[in-house]
Amino acid sequence: MWLSSDKTGWRRRALVLTVFSAASGAALPALAACPAVADAPASAFPAQLEIEEAAAAGLALTFTENPLFAADVAAGKLPPVKDRLPEQPLIELPYETCGTYGGTIEGTSRSAESGTADILSWRQVALVQIADDLVTIVPNVARSWKWNDDYTAITFELRRGHKWSDGSPFGPDDVVFYFDDIVNNKDISPEPTREWGVNARAKKIDDTHVEISFDAPFPGLLTYMATSGSYFTPFAPRHYFEKLHGAYNANADAEAKAAGYENWTKRFDDVWDKWMDAQTLTATGLEIPTLESHVLELEPTTEQRLFKANPYYFKVDSSGQQLPYIDRVHERFLNADLQLLAILNGEIDFKAQGTSLQNYPTMQESTEKSGYEILMPAGASGPILAFNITHKDPKLRAIYSDLRFRQAISHAINREEINQVSYFDLGTPTQALPPALSFSKPEDSKYMIEFDLDKANALLDEMGMKKGADGVRTFPDGSPFTILWEYSSQFAAPEFVKLMSDYFKSVGLNVNTKEQTSEATRENAKSAISDINTEWDIPYEPTLIADVNLYTPYYSEISPLFGVGWRQWANSKGAEGEEPPAWAKEMYTLADEWRTVLPGTPRYAEIGRRLIDLNLENMTIIGTVGNIPKPIIVKGQLHNVKHDMPVVHFNYGYIYPYRPEQWFRAK
């Protein structure tokens, strides 16, 4: 089991190391005072050490703290740093060097719950984390974990002496509270959630161990927790929320009424939020303890939020300095245009979310004047489209469900041109395929993407869609054929629709385009009366591990691409909906199995491989341009920023894999 940390293994290696260094004595160069990622001592996980590993590597750690807290410690308001850190802190190796304390990072989001995931990811914690290779799951709040044999239960080891930002102990009770009293409380969560596994529940084993179990195997849980689930943490400060909870406080209802709420659940709903950044929206955010690297310092306004370093944060650098180095994080709420101006003025230290490639040339102009650098990791994949194979209208359905039609479309699209027109030629023409899959082949992304009008025309001719005197194709029976493309700018940019319709017209397909609201688009998609549905992104692998149905028809629950009836059929085991064709049935069977296999195993790759083939062979979704770089702004004074981040995307928890808690400002 590659995910579970084998502690006897650690000890053995530790022993070998000690013996080795004792034998070679002075000949061995002493370990640097602050080993960085490049000269990392041996450890079970990359770029981080547990306390035993540090001791084994001969790393002497004296815990020191940010001078920001010195006055409070001297006044007795805060205990000294060694008492604030867990007995088993996580030791993090810096990318460049151990930093110096102080400074504020200037950031910006759009609004209270709009574009805030980036800044949340700077301070975020979760039970586990994904390493910057974007594959390895590494310990974070949890020290280690152990699965049972069929992946229906996992035991986490928490850190002894870990404390919330108010100094209260953090432990298994906080995890149990999250599951028993929030997720499984019918008053607070009337809809059952599957995100932590089917019917997930938690059990305290001892003071540092907690078990989460579910009814169906879910080996993808850790990946989910570390990536697209990192915005939610499956623990909550029990000692704080107990006071608001009807099951623990007999007066909770009365107190809620006094505070102006209908009942305690309304109040709880208001204070607690699944999204971790929504808990810091109001003044109550000042009271809710957290494990994050920075805690809310001032009452948030409609203009800004200010966060201050958490004195109880559980990580230290490799010289024993408590993280984070940065005193404060300042988040200003600005609209998109002003964000750009603020970046150009050099007012922003780091920005990953919401920077559009369209603004790349403009941002490039001011790099020197304003002292920032633009990093270009991979961001989202480009827009995809799908013809409605399960259209309500039988005549249209006959056309759209004909594989030759969809293949013709794929050949009619000039992807190079889209790349030049919309992405400065920085993307890569591609077939619709989740990006950077561990089990895909390079040729998958090139499947039938050649721009070949002859081939497209031949396929359409073969279908019997004859061209009339005006060069416009008809239904095989000779009646006029028109694609009605009703799109909303949320899912497809108008320029994209314009380019695409021109391609369709170039092979004699008549298209009418009409912009409408997102809601209307979704309603039409759900009732299977839209001709074309689009999506602007395909999820990365971790998100598929948690929910592979994003890669089987209907692809999206709230805005299906096609196959609504098929999905109903599969969900109801054939009682409702309409029977899918054999290939779709196979996809559903594979998807069900996928959830039960451990990521990275041969069977996992096999299923993934087959899903790719089924999608490509049936030309289910049609891709355009992928691998679109995402401009990221980093101010020069900011250090320990990983400069070669492979991907920055919501699906990976934005900056969370790249350890922003070790950023520091050069003086």
Residue 617: how many other CB atoms lie within 10 Å:
11
Q: Say which residues have a Cβ less than 8 Å from residue 177's Cβ, sequence separation at least 6.
A: 235, 236, 238, 241, 242
Q: Contact, 142 vs 157, CB < 8 A?
A: yes
Q: Shortest approach of another protein to residue 516 CB, angstroms?
A: 9
Q: Shortest approach of another protein to residue 650 CB, angstroms?
A: 3
**CA distance linking residue 53 with residue 139, whole number of Å:** 14
Q: Shortest approach of another protein to residue 572 CB, angstroms?
A: 16
Q: Shortest approach of another protein to residue 534 CB, angstroms?
A: 13
Residue with Cβ nearer another protein (168 or 568): 568
Q: Cα dihedral angle (662, 667, 115, 357), rounded to 10 degrees?
A: -100
| Residues forming the site for another protein (CB under 8 A) | 106, 111-115, 117, 190-191, 193, 228, 231, 269-270, 278, 281-283, 298, 301-304, 306, 330, 332, 334-335, 337-338, 341-342, 345, 347, 353, 380, 490, 517-520, 537, 539, 543, 547, 550, 556-559, 649-651
Q: Shortest approach of another protein to residue 229 CB, angstroms?
A: 10
Q: Shortest approach of another protein to residue 396 CB, angstroms?
A: 25
Q: Shortest approach of another protein to residue 651 CB, angstroms?
A: 6
Q: Shortest approach of another protein to residue 535 CB, angstroms?
A: 10
Residue with Cβ nearer another protein (347 or 452): 347
146 forms beta bridges with 155
Residue with Cβ nearer another protein (383 or 539): 539
Q: Contact, 65 vs 317, CB < 8 A?
A: no
Q: What burial class does residue 127 get, using C-beta atoms within 10 Å of its C-beta: 0-12 exposed, 13-18 middle, 19+ buried?
A: buried
Q: Shortest approach of another protein to residue 519 CB, angstroms?
A: 4
Q: Where are the alpha helices (DSSP H) in 261-414?
A: 264-271, 336-344, 360-365, 367-370, 394-400, 403-412
Q: Shortest approach of another protein to residue 427 CB, angstroms?
A: 17
One-letter identity of residue 37: V
Q: Contact, 56 vs 14, CB < 8 A?
A: yes
Q: Shortest approach of another protein to residue 490 CB, angstroms?
A: 6
Cis upstream peptide for 324 (omega within 30°): yes
Residue with Cβ nearer another protein (316 or 433): 433
Q: Shortest approach of another protein to residue 146 CB, angstroms?
A: 28
Q: Say which residues have a Cβ less than 8 Å from residue 519's Cβ, sequence separation at least 6.
A: none
Residue with Cβ nearer another protein (7 or 332): 332
Q: Say which residues have a Cβ less than 8 Å from residue 338's Cβ, sequence separation at least 6.
A: none
In which element (H, E) is residue 458 found?
A: helix 453-463
One-letter identity of residue 269: D
Q: Contact, 149 vs 317, CB < 8 A?
A: no
In which element (H, E) is residue 172 found?
A: helix 172-177
Residue with Cβ nearer another protein (24 or 302): 302
Residue with Cβ nearer another protein (87 or 519): 519
List C-alpha distances in Å: 532 to 412, 415, 561.
16, 18, 8
Residue with Cβ nearer another protein (257 or 330): 330
Q: Shortest approach of another protein to residue 98 CB, angstroms?
A: 28
Q: Shortest approach of another protein to residue 423 CB, angstroms?
A: 18
Q: Shortest approach of another protein to residue 485 CB, angstroms?
A: 19
Residue with Cβ nearer another protein (150 or 365): 365
Among residues 110, 213, 125, which one has the least CA distance to residue 163? 125
Token pair belonging to 213: 């179990």
Among residues 120, 107, 307, which one has the least CA distance to residue 232? 120
Residue with Cβ nearer another protein (57 or 344): 344
Residue with Cβ nearer another protein (199 or 518): 518
Residue with tokens 């499956």: 234
Residue with Cβ nearer another protein (73 or 550): 550
Q: Contact, 280 vs 300, CB < 8 A?
A: yes
Residue with Cβ nearer another protein (49 or 386): 386
Residue with Cβ nearer another protein (120 or 137): 120
Q: Shortest approach of another protein to residue 143 CB, angstroms?
A: 29
Rounded to the nearest 5 percent, the helix, strand and coil shares of the chain are: 35, 15, 45
The phi and psi torsions of 623 (rounded to 5 degrees) equal: -95, 165
Residue with Cβ nearer another protein (247 or 283): 283
**Any idea what DSSP says for residue 547?**
-
Residue with Cβ nearer another protein (576 or 579): 576
Q: Say which residues have a Cβ less than 8 Å from residue 208's Cβ, sequence separation at least 6.
A: 143, 157, 158, 159, 160, 171, 172
Q: What burial class does residue 365 get, using C-beta atoms within 10 Å of its C-beta: 0-12 exposed, 13-18 middle, 19+ buried?
A: exposed
CB burial of 594-604 (b: ≥16 within 10 Å; e: otherwise) equals bbbbbbbeeeb
Among residues 449, 455, 393, which one has the least CA distance to residue 619? 449
